[in-house]
Amino acid sequence: MRQAGAYSKLVSGGRSGPHALPLARIKKIMKNSSEEVKMISGEAPIVFSKACELFIEELTKRAWAMTLQGKRRTMQREDVASAVITTDLFDFLITLVSDSVPAQESLPVLEP
Amino acid sequence: MEPMDIVGRTKEDASLPKATMTKIIKEMLPPDVRVARDAQDLLIECCVEFINLISSESNEVCNREEKRTIAPEHVLKALEVLGFGEYIEEVYAAYEQHRHETMDTMRSGKWSNGAEMTEEEALAEQQRMFAEARARMNGGGSAPKQSDAEAQPSSNS
């Protein structure tokens, strides 16, 4: 369950360290995302920080599954790309990873 | 000719700190696993893209409700809309925990916001916001009152 951390507000069960993403940096990225981004409440970056953690966790673990499939112990860029391709939820990342796709998994519809 | 902006103040340069990200990533994996540097870089890029995606949608949600400030409820709704509904429960719990810790700080007088709510008022306010957020997450169609613009430190630097 949740640990009451003395450090960041985002210590969650199952993690050994209380590392959290810097809120100011998140806020900066949020503002960059759109020309007309409104004011951002003080608490919104906190919500983002946790969501990012969950997102990284999911992507990392899926990439790791690809690494294991390849019988390796070092995660490579192509593992991340494969994880993106095989997960519908991560479709928004396909363009970002399209140059790292391992040959056997290239989608025919990918734009060059 | 524009000078190279090595300090990274340009709009495109906002990214997440590598050291923190590396630690987070490594913690999620078995201890003997290694992550190639370019794989780490790609993970970080994906995360930034994730923030962009959710930000844009949060902005939309906020617009639709004709609010001026992107609030946590808007972000939660955005997550749901974009298919990340599974995250909502944990995200909301983290938000609640932060709210509790914030309330503690307020009680100790560090956050004097001029309104000087009593503890009962602060707790009532907190419960009201939770209820609103829950109602929103449960698909409530009514727009909640703009509740936290005054009480919370809202900055737009």
Q: Residue A36: its chain B contacts at CB < 8 A?
A: 59
Q: Residue A95: its chain B contacts at CB < 8 A?
A: none
Least confident interval from A75-79, A107-111, B63-67, B137-141? A107-111
In the predicted structure, residue B149 carries a pLDDT above the cut 70: no
Looking at chain A, how many residues does it have? 112
Mean pLDDT computed over every residue of chain B:
79
Choose from A38, A47, A55, A85 for mutation: most chain B CBs within 10 A.
Answer: A47
Task: Give B111's pLDDT tier (boundaries 50, 70, 90).
Answer: low
Burial class (CB in 10 A: 0-12, 13-18, 19+), B10: exposed
Looking at chain B, how many residues does it have? 157
Instruction: Please give the pLDDT value at position A27.
Output: 86
Query: In chain B, which residue's Cα lies nearest the Cα of A35?
Result: B56
Q: What ipTM is given for this predicted complex?
A: 0.76
Asked if residues A25 and B16 have their Cβ atoms less than 8 Å apart, the reply is: yes
Main-chain dihedrals φ then ψ at residue B34, nearest 5 degrees: -110, 150
> pTM for the complete prediction?
0.67
3-state secondary structure chain B: CCCCCCCCCCHHHCCCCHHHHHHHHHHCCCCCCEECHHHHHHHHHHHHHHHHHHHHHHHHHHHHCCCCEECHHHHHHHHHHCCCHHHHHHHHHHHHHHHHHHHHHHHCCCCCCCCCCCHHHHHHHHHHHHHHHHHHHCCCCCCCCCCCCCCCCCECC
Q: Residue B48: its chain A contacts at CB < 8 A?
A: 29
Distance CA B107, CA B124 (A): 14
Query: In chain B, which residue's Cα lies nearest the Cα of A96?
Result: B46
Is B11 an interface residue toward A (CB < 8 Å)? yes
Mean pLDDT computed over every residue of chain A:
79
The pLDDT tens digits for A49-94 are: 999 999 999 999 999 999 999 999 999 999 999 999 999 999 999 9
Output A19 or B107, whichever has higher pLDDT: B107
Output A21 or B44, whichever has higher pLDDT: B44
In the predicted structure, residue A101 carries a pLDDT above the cut 50: yes
Extract the tokens encoding A110: 């990918």
